[in-house]
């Protein structure tokens, strides 16, 4: 008999972890396998239909936590549940994981730090099973001798992320989109240098950025780059000064737009006005939700051919993106195995190709859209995730 699942991270539609939780919970609820929430869901962030479908989970969570409070700081064993523990780099777990244990304890992780010290391995091996979201992560764990590793690819909601008619908000400009929290790992420094060269040849080009995040201090890691030694400042409003940072590196006034924190309800509309989306990321522990959202919206996409992106790129015979294959291996004390640096010049060349041949751009974008709709929806994810957890 399948046991119940309990989740140790909060449901939300703000970031990737929250979305994993939301769509897993929706699937389990639909299957009559109601999950138990061990962290407080951010219900206000959910779309009304998802909030209504999951309201009973919040009510039960509140009652359960009130009962658990009577146990004080003692570890609580949940005999009829498998506890899914959300893990960060180094297989570090959050507070609910230290308090609740289940019949089985399953670690769920998308990691970029590949430092497998004895301490890290001990934490990882404390779980009965580990589930990851990329072939890259799975293979790294297999190399370390783990034999109970599940794989479930994250997805998108095609009712939310879909091609829309362009609004014309940017006029007749050639619009390049770049998204993801600004940090060294995401490679916005590469985007900036490539777009600067491209814009010099095409003055009508516009870089539209969604680089803000609730963690602006992560942007300081961009100083590690050989391209941008000076990171952006954080303004008095707590937001990164993206436009000023781009100007510091030679981007002319009016060539860069900072979208700020983009709500999920607005992503598809923004994508509808973009001609290309670029992701020269140095590493992705999963498969890059923002890139998949761009593909689901029918935008031609450029992807670095490394780590989690390799699960999106597809075959050379029927390309669904423009892969950045000129990759330089990055080494950093063994904690960045698989990280690679993309070529600025190759990214410029791909932008030129998309600009010059809109028909080929549409063909590749259409293949990517079909791939996402056919294989990478949240429904596909949830089903495979529950199977990977050993249901």
Work out the burial of residue 122: count CB atoms within 10 Å of its CB; fewer than 13 is exposed, 13-18 middle, 19 or more buried.
exposed
* pLDDT value of residue 1: 43
Where does the pLDDT of residue 74 fall: very low under 50, low under 70, confident under 90, or very high at 90 and above? confident
**Nearest C-alpha neighbor of 309 from the set 330, 278, 281, 276:** 281
Work out the burial of residue 260: count CB atoms within 10 Å of its CB; fewer than 13 is exposed, 13-18 middle, 19 or more buried.
middle
**Nearest C-alpha neighbor of 336 from the set 345, 347, 328, 326:** 328
Q: How many other C-beta atoms lie within 10 A of the C-beta of residue 91?
A: 22
Contact yes or no for 277/291 (Cβ under 8 A): yes
Contact yes or no for 50/22 (Cβ under 8 A): yes
* 234 φψ region: left (φ > 0), alpha (ψ -120 to 50), beta (else): beta
Q: Which residue has the tokens 């939300």?
A: 12
Residue 73, pLDDT > 90, answer: no
**Nearest C-alpha neighbor of 241 from the set 179, 182, 169, 193:** 182
Where does the pLDDT of residue 100 fall: very low under 50, low under 70, confident under 90, or very high at 90 and above? very high
What is the per-residue pLDDT across 284-320, written as a single tens digit (0 to 9) for each?
Answer: 999 999 999 999 999 999 999 999 999 999 888 899 9
Strand-pair category, 327-329 with 340-342: antiparallel
Where does the pLDDT of residue 228 fall: very low under 50, low under 70, confident under 90, or very high at 90 and above? very high
Here the tokens at position 7 are 């989740």
* pLDDT value of residue 391: 63
Residue 186, pLDDT > 90, answer: yes
* pLDDT value of residue 390: 86
Q: What is the DSSP letter of 146?
A: -
Give the DSSP H/E element, type plus range, for residue 279: strand 276-279
Q: How many other C-beta atoms lie within 10 A of the C-beta of residue 47?
A: 15
Here the tokens at position 342 are 């993309």
**Phi and psi angles of residue 304, each rounded to the nearest 5 degrees, phi first:** -70, 135
CA 166 to chain centre: 25
Residue 71, pLDDT > 90, answer: no
Query: What does pLDDT average to over the chain?
Result: 96
Residue 154, pLDDT > 90, answer: yes
Which residues, other chains included, contact 346 with Cβ-Cβ below 8 Å and sequence gap of 6+?
A: 324, 325, 326
What is the per-residue pLDDT across 101-114, written as a single tens digit (0 to 9) for each?
Answer: 999 999 999 999 99
* pLDDT value of residue 353: 98
Contact yes or no for 293/271 (Cβ under 8 A): yes
Number of helices (H) and strands (E) in the chain: give both, helices first: 13, 15
Residue 2, pLDDT > 60, answer: no
Which residues, other chains included, contact 46 with Cβ-Cβ below 8 Å and sequence gap of 6+?
A: 11, 12, 13, 22, 54
What are the b/e assignments for 205-230, b being 16+ CB within 10 Å?
Answer: bbbbbbbbbeebebbeebeebebbee
Instruction: Give the integer Cα–Cα distance in Å for 284 and 328.
Output: 16
Which pTM value belongs to this model? Answer: 0.96
Here the tokens at position 352 are 């030129």
Which residues, other chains included, contact 175 with Cβ-Cβ below 8 Å and sequence gap of 6+?
A: 205, 206, 208, 273, 274, 275, 276
- For residues 256-262, average pLDDT: 96
| Three-state secondary structure call for residue 186 | helix
Domains plus CATH for the chain? 4-155+378-388 (3.40.50), 174-375 (3.40.50.2000)
Contact yes or no for 275/354 (Cβ under 8 A): yes
Percent of the chain with pLDDT over 90: 95
**Nearest C-alpha neighbor of 353 from the set 317, 321, 326:** 321
Contact yes or no for 384/20 (Cβ under 8 A): no
Bridge partners of 327, per DSSP, are: 342
């Amino acid at each position: 008999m399948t046991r119940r699942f309990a989740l140790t991270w909060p449901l939300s539609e703000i970031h990737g972890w929250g979305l994993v939780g939301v769509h897993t919970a929706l699937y389990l609820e639909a299957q009559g396998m109601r999950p138990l929430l061990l962290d407080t869901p951010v219900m206000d962030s959910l779309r009304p239909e998802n909030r209504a479908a999951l309201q009973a989970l919040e009510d039960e969570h509140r009652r359960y936590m009130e009962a658990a409070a009577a146990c004080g700081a003692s570890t609580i064993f949940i005999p009829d549940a498998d506890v899914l523990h959300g893990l960060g780099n180094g297989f570090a777990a959050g507070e609910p994981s230290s308090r609740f244990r289940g019949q089985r304890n399953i670690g769920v992780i998308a990691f970029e730090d590949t430092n497998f010290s004895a301490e890290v391995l001990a934490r990882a091996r404390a779980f009965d099973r580990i589930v990851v979201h990329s072939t890259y992560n799975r293979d790294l764990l297999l190399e370390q001798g783990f034999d109970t590793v599940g794989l479930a690819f994250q997805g998108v909601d095609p009712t939310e992320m879909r091609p829309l008619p362009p609004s014309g908000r940017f006029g007749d400009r050639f619009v390049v989109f770049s998204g993801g929290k600004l940090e060294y790992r995401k490679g916005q420094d590469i985007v900036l240098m490539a777009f600067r060269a491209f814009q010099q040849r095409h003055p009508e080009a516009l870089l539209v950025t969604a680089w803000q995040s609730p963690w602006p201090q992560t942007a300081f890691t961009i100083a590690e780059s050989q391209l941008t030694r000076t990171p952006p400042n954080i303004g008095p409003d707590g937001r990164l000064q993206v436009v000023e940072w781009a100007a510091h590196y030679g981007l002319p006034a009016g060539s860069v737009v900072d979208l700020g924190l983009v709500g999920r309800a607005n992503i598809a509309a923004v994508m509808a006005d973009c001609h290309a989306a670029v992701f020269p990321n140095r590493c992705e522990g999963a498969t890059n939700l923002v890139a998949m959202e761009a593909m689901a919206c029918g935008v031609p996409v450029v992807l670095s051919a490394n780590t989690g992106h390799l699960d999106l790129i597809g075959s050379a015979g029927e390309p669904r993106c423009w892969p950045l294959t000129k990759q330089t291996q990055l080494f950093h004390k063994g904690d960045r195995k698989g990280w690679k640096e993309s070529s600025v010049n190759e990214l410029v060349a791909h932008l030129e190709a998309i600009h010059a041949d809109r028909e080929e751009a549409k063909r590749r974008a259409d293949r990517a859209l079909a791939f996402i709709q056919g294989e990478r929806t949240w429904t596909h994810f949830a089903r495979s995730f529950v199977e990977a957890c050993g249901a």
